[in-house]
Amino acid sequence: MEFEEKTLSSKTIYNGNLVDFVVDTVQLPNGGISTRELIKHPGAVAIMAITADDKMIFVKQYRKAVEQVLLEIPAGKIDLTDENPIETGRRELEEETGYQAKTFELETSFYTSPGFANELIYIYTAHELTKVVEPLAQDEDEFIELVYLTFDEAWEAYEKHLIYDAKTVYALIAWKLKLATKK
């Protein structure tokens, strides 16, 4: 069976700073017609920043969409100034944490919600961190606090639903697997 949906028309109904909203009319594999409401996103990068004492750096922030304070790994949108995802990662790590890293290792990339959005997020692990004297400025509308957690502390935060977003849950699982292979 052919699964592809052919786009018959596409209408952008909103251009935002973070996302665009698009309504597509599509022809289904069986010949029928349907509508798809889509969110177009430029992509993002998230960083698993590991300190010399084996703690991971999290940012604590309020997330309006879920009306909750969450602990997340540092992350940000790929923008026009970035040549590639690793440049976004370097920028976001410094902006959000005040650190730079000597090494970056790509862990994975995945679509966050492919049923309605095209956001592709890359997750890197950053090692050999150094504090920057004059780091890049945080976004004006971003209010965050740094939290340094051991794996056990992070897992406890996960169990209390303080860590509750997909990229950070992935980071915890990846961290757990890395710790298990070291034993």
Beta bridge mates, 77: 44
Q: Which of 4, 67, 134, 140 is catalytic?
A: 140
Residue type, 63: R
* Cα four-point dihedral sign 132, 168, 83, 143: negative
Structure tokens at 105: 């290792």
Q: Strand (E) positions, 16-119?
A: 20-27, 33-40, 44-49, 56-63, 68-72, 75-77, 99-111
* Phi-psi group of 173: left, alpha or beta (phi > 0 → left; psi -120 to 50 → alpha; rest → beta): alpha
Whether 4 is catalytic is no
Structure tokens at 23: 């309504």
Residue numbers annotated as active site: 140
